[in-house]
Amino acid sequence: MKGEMMFSTNSPPRAVSLSFGAGLWMFGQFVDRYATDAYGPPVGTLQAIARAGEVGLLSAVDINYPFEPGVTPAQVKSALQDAGLRAIAVTPAIYTRKFQRGSFTNPDSKLRGDAIDLCKRAIDVAQLLEADYVKFWPGQDGYDYPFQAEYTQLWDLAVAGVRSLAASHPQMGFAIEYKSKEPRTHITFSSAARTLLAIQDMGVDNVGIVMDLGHSLFAQETPAEELQLIARRGKLRSVEVNDNWRQWDDDLTVGAVHLIETLEFMLALRSIGWQRPILLDQFPFREDPVVAARHSIGMLKLLDAALDRIDLAQLHEVRTNQDALAAQRLVYQTILGDLR
């Protein structure tokens, strides 16, 4: 990919200094279809940045665009500086009311154009903020019902939309965050493998993938496996983390449910030599977001420290021999004590 090199999977597992970022939305206001009066008061863009800074452990944020009305990119840049943060990504809000029937795949060509225009403005802002990439999360691009859509059309429109933006902005990096569903019951960029195929169809070299650990669990993937699948093809642009119960995108704190799978994912990150920030993507509906962010980072550090205590060379050997119980002994005794 253009700009930054993607990491290969061949580098030996080794400790790297961890750094952290977050989606700015996790410091904003949450609403759902029941608590229509929201889980808390409104939070503007600048206030959310200040909250992110309060965490004290974050270096980067992914920022939704448009900002709160009236806020300029210059103000955002300044607020980031004050908070000790940088914009790693800008994410255009191509999933709000206007785009409820789709952004890139909207059946109305006028609205597809509007989505592209919004993305272009987000690209401009990303350049101003010196962000690494513009992230596409086309959660309204898909379908809800059987027989609702022509699947090949959805695919072609989704591919064409991203391609056109990538081709017209060859110096900018782009990334697709796949997810199997929500808000549509079926989203077109649904899995790692499907998104890799779509990126091939785009025929551009500046589009990669944001792998969200929770989306991968939710999609019934094995996250460590898909991380490597993406990384080996040079398409891993960024990594987001959280947890869920594999039945919905609950956006819980990291490792709360899938401790073992999260540990395995952290090991996979080492194996590909990941050195960029790991971004939190949480919706702490009923928790303090600053506390929840620190909590997740604490968990990531503990898991990383646990990896330091595991004999990774021996683990690699028993995994090569596909010895499930021996692998567990190495891993779980580090966590819980000696299993013998």
Applying the rule CB under 8 A, the residues between 279 and 338 that interact with its own copies are 283, 285-287, 291-292, 295, 298-299, 302-303, 305-306, 315-316, 319-325, 327-333, 335-337
Smallest distance, its own copies to C-beta of residue 314, A: 12
Structure tokens at 324: 């499930």
* Helix (H), strand (E) at residue 83: helix 73-83
Looking at the Cβ atoms of 67 and 169, the one nearer to its own copies is 67
User: Considering the complex, what minimum distance in angstroms separates the CB of residue 197 from its own copies?
Assistant: 6
Under rule CB under 8 A, which residues in 126-155 are in contact with its own copies? 139-140, 143-153, 155
Round to whole Å and give the CA distance between 323 and 335: 19
From the CB of 94, what's the least distance to its own copies, in Å?
Answer: 10
Residue 11 found at the interface with its own copies (CB under 8 A): no
Q: SS3 for 173-224, per residue?
A: EEEEECCCCCCCCEECCCCHHHHHHHHHHHCCCCEEEEEEHHHHHHCCCCHH
Residue 10, class by beta-carbon neighbours within 10 Å (0-12 exposed, 13-18 middle, 19+ buried)? exposed
Shortest separation between residue 32's beta carbon and its own copies, angstroms: 5
Q: Two tokens at 32?
A: 């759902």
Among 44, 57, 232, 273, binds its own copies (CB under 8 A): 232
35 versus 74: smaller Cβ distance to its own copies? 35
Q: Nearest distance from residue 207's CB to its own copies, in Å?
A: 16
Q: Which is nearer to its own copies, 124 or 285 (CB)?
A: 285
Shortest separation between residue 91's beta carbon and its own copies, angstroms? 11
- The least distance separating its own copies from the CB of residue 152, rounded to whole angstroms, comes to 5
Window 166-185: residues binding its own copies (CB under 8 A): 180-183, 185
222 phi and psi angles, rounded to 5 deg: -95, 110
User: Minimum CB separation from its own copies for residue 110, in Å?
Assistant: 14
Residues 249-278 that bind its own copies (CB under 8 A): 250, 252-253, 255-257, 259-261, 264, 268
> Closer CB to its own copies, residue 11 or residue 81?
11
The Cα 20–Cα 294 span in angstroms is: 10
Spatial separation of the C-alpha atoms in residues 297 and 294, rounded to whole Å = 5
User: Rounded to an integer, what distance in angstroms lies between the CA atom of residue 174 and that of residue 120?
Assistant: 12
Q: How far is CA 163 from CA 116, 155, 175, 200, in A?
A: 11, 12, 11, 10
- Binding of residue 204 to its own copies (CB under 8 A): no
Write down the residue that tokens 């017209």 correspond to. 168
Question: What is the C-alpha separation between 277 and 21, in angstroms, rounded?
Answer: 6
Contact 65, 74 (CB under 8 A): no
- Selected binder of its own copies within 45, 91, 103, 191 (CB under 8 A): 191
CB-count exposure of residue 176 (10 Å: 0-12, 13-18, 19+): buried
Question: What residues from 33 to 52 belong to the interface with its own copies (CB under 8 A)?
Answer: 33-40
**Closest Cα to residue 24, out of 47, 56, 57?**
47
- Work out whether 240 is an interface residue with its own copies (CB under 8 A): no
Q: Is 72 in the site for its own copies (CB under 8 A)?
A: no
